[in-house]
Amino acid sequence: MKAARIHRHGGPEVLTYEDAPDPKLKANQVLVRVRACALNHLDLWVRAGIPGMEIAMPHILGSDIAGEVVATGEWNERVRAGQRVLLAPGLSCRQCERCVSGEDNRCPHYTLFGVGVPGGNAELVAAPEYAVIPIPDDLDFECAAAAPLVFLTAWHMLFTRAALQPGEDVLVLAASSGVGSAAIQLAKLFHCRVIATAGGERKLEMARELGADHVIDHYRQDVAAEVKKLTDRRGVDVVFEHVGAATWPRSVQSLASAGRLVTCGNTTGYDVKLDLRFLFSRQHSILGSYMGTLGELYKVLRFVFRKQVRPVIDKVYPLAEIRAAHERLEHKEQFGKVVVVP
Ligand SMILES: [Zn+2]
């Protein structure tokens, strides 16, 4: 098969479109012909190398996968050849206490396609049967690939970790990112008031189109001051963070009394300051979030399948042009998801 692989860590130049052996199918696995694979920031980090994380080389990136089932291993019972499917990006042991309690994203063996196992930047991928989720006929493969990771992450952050309630005020950082565009739509679905930040008029307009009630240009405006203005000095109930060092102080300042800040990433740096005086006197909560459970993925996909929310597709590249796709994401040129098609 053709695949985009890395043989060492580095910049986009280490991505090589080449021939690779077809995956060998295990009895509990399904072979999927990849029809679309969406990129995530995770791809950039794994490609560059994450300190302390050992990746077997050569490696195939890509966590968000949609395609058609071409073969099933002998232990499969539910999935059949010919089905149009997406793959749950997260993989776990299915046997430990956390997994059987429905908290598979806290499994000690938790990993993702494109991280601990070969991903979807290839013509074929092998997946355990439990990760295979059939998709409706009217959902195209690009949308099916662009949905899982960001909608799952945003759902877990907003509803499981931050316990967002209908009608609350939410500040969504970086609306142009995949998770940001998912968070705006999910919060609106729950009748929340959404304030979104983005850089530049074009991205602000797109945030409005997704449903943001107010937008703030994070390059030209003081986010915390604007939030105070828009909320009559109260601040927001929930801040949806994933930007990190560059936005952290303003994000904390934007919180209302008893507000919750939930974060799933640190694209601009991880070393932030926390003033404990404000944390306790205003009774803030700082919450970490990582992916979401398989059960939550089924819940949020219901809204995707019914077209009540939609993944935002920025650009689709042929897999052979994977380097350009990485560069687009790395240079923050995108609004929504960058997708590759084998
Ligand atoms: Zn487990």
Instruction: State the DSSP string of 26-50.
Output: PTTEEEEEEEEEE--HHHHHHHH--
Q: Which long-range contacts (CB under 8 A, 24 or more apart) does 91-96 make?
A: 91/116, 91/117, 91/128, 91/131, 94/130
What is the Å distance from ligand 1's center to 203 Cα?
40
From residue 333, alpha-carbon distances to 36, 176, 200, 268, 314 in Å are 20, 9, 11, 16, 9
Distance 294 CA to ligand 1 centre (A): 12
- Calculate how far, in angstroms, residue 104's C-alpha sits from the geometric centre of ligand 1: 6
279-305, pLDDT tens digit by residue? 999 999 999 999 999 999 999 999 999
Yes or no: say if 284 and 278 are a contact pair by the CB < 8 Å rule.
Answer: yes
CA distances to 3, 38, 75, 142 from 319, rounded to whole Å, are 8, 11, 31, 13
- Write down the pLDDT at residue 139: 98
Q: How far is the CA of 92 from the centre of ligand 1 (A)?
A: 5
Q: How remote is the CA of residue 103 from the centroid of ligand 1, in Å?
A: 8
pLDDT at 333 (0 to 100): 87
Q: What mean pLDDT do residues 201-215 have?
A: 96
Q: What is the mean pLDDT of residues 313-325?
A: 98
Residue 91 carries which DSSP code? E
Cα of 89 from ligand 1 centre, angstroms: 15
What separation in Å is there between the alpha carbon of 293 and the centre of ligand 1? 11
pLDDT, position 137: 97
Q: What is the pLDDT of residue 332?
A: 86
* Average pLDDT of the segment spanning 74-97: 97
Alpha-carbon dihedral 292, 293, 296, 302, rounded to 10 degrees: 100
How far is residue 43 from each of residues 71, 139, 197, measured CA to CA in Å? Answer: 27, 24, 24
Question: Is the model's pLDDT at 267 over the cut of 90?
Answer: no
Q: Which residues are CB-neighbours of 147 under 8 A, at least 6 positions away? A: 64, 86, 301, 304, 311
Evaluate if residue 123 carries a pLDDT over 90.
Answer: yes
Write out the H or E segment, with its range, that includes residue 165: none
pLDDT greater than 90 at residue 166: yes
Cis before 58 (ω within 30): yes
| Cα 111 to averaged position of ligand 1 atoms, centre (Å) | 10
Question: Furthest-apart CA pair in the chain: how many Å?
Answer: 62
Per residue in 12-36, pLDDT tens?
999 999 999 999 999 999 999 999 9
- Please tell me the predicted confidence (pLDDT) of residue 288: 97
CA of 109 to the centre of ligand 1 (A): 6
Average confidence (pLDDT) over 310-315: 96
Q: How far is the CA of 117 from the centre of ligand 1 (A)?
A: 16
Query: What is the pLDDT at residue 251?
Result: 96
pLDDT higher than 90, residue 3: yes
Query: Looking at residue 167, what is its pLDDT?
Result: 96
How does the average pLDDT of the chain come out, rounded? 96
- Give the distance (Å) from ligand 1 centre to CA of residue 110: 7
Cα 156 to ligand 1 centre (Å):
18
CA 179 / ligand 1 centre spacing (Å): 25
The long-range contacts involving 204-212, CB below 8 angstroms and separated by at least 24 positions, are 204/175, 206/175, 206/176, 206/312, 206/335, 207/175, 207/176, 207/180, 207/181, 210/175, 210/181, 210/184, 210/185, 210/312, 211/184, 211/185, 212/172, 212/175, 212/184
Q: What is the pLDDT of residues 235-254, one digit of tens each?
A: 999 999 999 999 999 999 99
Residue 65: per-residue pLDDT: 98
Any bridge partners for residue 218, and if so which? none
DSSP 248-265: HHHHHHTEEEEEEEEE--
CA–centroid distance, 77 to ligand 1, in Å, is: 21
Q: Mark the residues whose beta carbon lies below 5 A from ion ligand 1.
A: 92-93, 96, 99, 107
Ligand 1 mean position, distance from CA 30 (Å)? 20
Is a pLDDT exceeding 90 seen at residue 117? Answer: yes
Cα 315 from Cα 260, distance rounded (Å): 33
**What are the backbone angles phi and psi of residue 211, rounded to the nearest 5°?**
125, 0
Cα 100 to middle of ligand 1, angstroms: 7
Alpha carbon of 291 to ligand 1 centroid (Å): 15
Distance 96 CA to ligand 1 centre (A): 4
